[in-house]
């Protein structure tokens, strides 16, 4: 076992896949000599050289376009966007080309887009977004959102081996704050499978990414009064682990969905609709959502703290849910 941060776990997964498969390469702005904006790729240039760790111009559309072309030619590119916010500059090519290529031509598109996401680091409105809902709507794209170092490593390896385009959203708030003992032997975390990280019987929280830790804080508080809340970490936003969510709701009869992205049109809305459509008879209370308000992420520390869901907001909603 080796202790690694969330960031180091991603790097370890990348390194293992680069060593395992010569068709894997990394490209992006400053990923080479500089080691990436957040130093995720630090040291890889020295080991693998400039043919496999490739610095690119500042053009997200260009990065995505080259990566798609390489994937179509049998390579397995891992393209880094310095911030997930900048993916929108490549929106057309990701949603109209990468996502549709297999449907149209039956080809493989083994492409990974790594994108640091989320707030809590005072990055302001252009460097703090959680863009999963944009891509959640697009058939042909997979979206993974690890919350732990273990999952961060296992999912980056699975994403690289997948024959479909995968958007890998890594929460930058977790980079150096989360540490974990990881197995020295190789392992994978399957795409599309969530995980019950805390058993409970009174209500279910479905969440992912950094919000897993906010959910845990709130649930620990309630457990002092004998209230047991089940927490599901989705790990993958799409494909959504519908069966796991259904099983939990049928057990607890109450559901709260928690995500850091804006509430309107978010992943939580789809989960809510899913349960309303297929498990309505099991509900003892209305489904509740806790999410960010429909505003850009503020730059000022105090405003950003007020914007992002926290333990108190989750507790307030859980208490309403349990009283219904």
Sign for the pseudo-dihedral over CA of 189, 110, 6, 258: negative
HSE (side-chain half, CA atoms, 13 Å) at 219: 24
HSE (side-chain half, CA atoms, 13 Å) at 309: 33
Catalytic-labelled residue, pool 127, 171, 259, 307: 127
Comparing CA positions, the residue from 190, 191, 187 lying closest to residue 141 is: 191
What is the DSSP track for 202-245? Answer: SEEEEE-TTHHHHHHHHHHHHHTTT--EEEEE-SEEES--HHHH
Catalytic residue status for 307 = no
**Phi, psi dihedral angles at 297 (to 5 degrees):** -70, 120
**Phi, psi dihedral angles at 258 (to 5 degrees):** -125, 125
CA 159/CA 113 separation, integer angstroms: 9
What is the DSSP track for 131-198? Answer: -HHHHHTSTT-EEE---SHHHHHHHHHHHHH-SS-EEEEEEGGGTTT-EEEE-SS-----TT--EEEE
HSE (side-chain half, CA atoms, 13 Å) at 53: 23
CA 123/CA 140 separation, integer angstroms: 30
User: Do 129 and 86 form a contact (C-beta atoms < 8 A)?
Assistant: no
Comparing CA positions, the residue from 168, 186, 132 lying closest to residue 40 is: 168
Tokens of 277: 């459509």
Comparing CA positions, the residue from 45, 39, 44, 54 lying closest to residue 6 is: 39
Active site residues: 127
């Amino acid at each position: 076992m080796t202790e690694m941060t969330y960031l180091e776990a991603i790097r370890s997964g990348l390194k293992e896949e680069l060593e395992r498969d010569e068709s894997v390469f990394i490209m992006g702005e400053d990923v080479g000599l500089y080691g990436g904006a957040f130093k995720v790729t630090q040291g890889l240039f020295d080991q693998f050289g400039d043919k496999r760790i490739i610095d690119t111009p500042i053009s997200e559309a260009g990065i995505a376009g080259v990566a798609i072309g390489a994937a179509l030619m049998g390579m397995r590119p891992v393209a880094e966007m310095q911030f997930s916010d900048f993916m929108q500059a490549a929106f057309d090519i990701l949603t109209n080309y990468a996502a549709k290529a297999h449907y149209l031509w039956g080809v493989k598109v083994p492409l990974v887009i790594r994108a640091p996401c989320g707030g809590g680091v005072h990055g302001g409105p252009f460097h703090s977004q959680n863009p999963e809902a944009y891509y959640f709507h697009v058939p042909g794209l997979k979206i993974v959102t690890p919350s732990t170092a273990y999952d961060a490593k296992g999912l980056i390896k699975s994403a690289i081996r997948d024959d479909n385009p995968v958007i890998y959203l890594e929460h930058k708030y977790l980079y150096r704050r989360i540490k974990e003992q990881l197995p020295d032997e190789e392992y994978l975390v399957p795409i599309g499978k969530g995980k019950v990280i805390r058993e409970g019987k009174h209500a279910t929280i479905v969440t992912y990414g950094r919000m897993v830790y906010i959910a845990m804080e709130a649930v620990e508080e309630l457990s002092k009064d004998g209230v047991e809340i089940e927490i599901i970490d989705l790990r993958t936003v799409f494909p959504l682990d519908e069966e796991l969510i259904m099983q939990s709701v049928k057990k607890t009869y109450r559901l709260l969905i928690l995500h850091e992205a804006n509430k309107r049109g978010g992943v939580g809305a789809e989960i809510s609709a899913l349960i309303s459509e297929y498990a309505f008879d099991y509900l003892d209370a209305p489904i509740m959502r806790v999410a960010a308000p429909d505003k850009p992420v503020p730059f000022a520390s105090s405003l950003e703290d007020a914007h992002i869901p926290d333990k108190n907001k989750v507790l307030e909603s859980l208490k309403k849910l349990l009283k219904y």
